[in-house]
Amino acid sequence: MAHRNQRQPEQLAPPVQRMRLRYAKRSVARFMSHRDFARSFERVLLRARIPMALSSGFNPHPRISYANASPTGAASEAEYLEIALWEVCDPEKVKDALNAEMPTGMEVLEVVESDRVAWTEVLTASAWTVHVPHSTDPAAVSSAVDAL
């Protein structure tokens, strides 16, 4: 039951623009868990002074939607997320500002305005490349591929 003197949180204005980002995880960044990346990316948004739209409520959070959790331990050239902004921005300027603040091994490769189509309709397949060291026994590789 709400206390009589308890104020309701301010309802924030809806976002005016949404942007989809494609980013890469390389080098040491491939060992970041998805949760670590999410926390790190929120800090990047603050340092880059991106006008993030926030959720309403007692504990507002930046409006970020991840296409999926990025795998820990795997490098990637195509991880996706969407951000909501309270101010209209140029996608190239957002990309440059974010890249100036991204941690080692992370890079924003593309920023475009979102058409609001669901991630499940946009991302329909993944392509994986597995690099096997030359010293690995070919029979062992063949067996591992069969098992996979």
Q: What is the pLDDT of residues 51-76, one digit of tens each?
A: 999 988 788 888 999 988 888 998 99
- The pLDDT score that the predictor gives to residue 115 is 84
Total-model pTM = 0.78
Residues of the chain with pLDDT > 70, as a percent, come to: 93
- Structural tokens at position 128: 């994986």
Here the contacts of 73-78 (C-beta below 8 Å, separation 24 or greater) are 73/30, 73/31, 74/25, 74/30, 75/24, 75/25, 75/26, 75/27, 75/30, 76/24, 76/25, 76/30, 77/24, 77/109, 78/22, 78/24
Computed over every residue of the chain, the mean pLDDT equals: 87
Is the pLDDT confidence value at 13 over 60?
yes
Mean local confidence (pLDDT), 30-49: 94
Q: So what's the pLDDT on residue 8?
A: 58
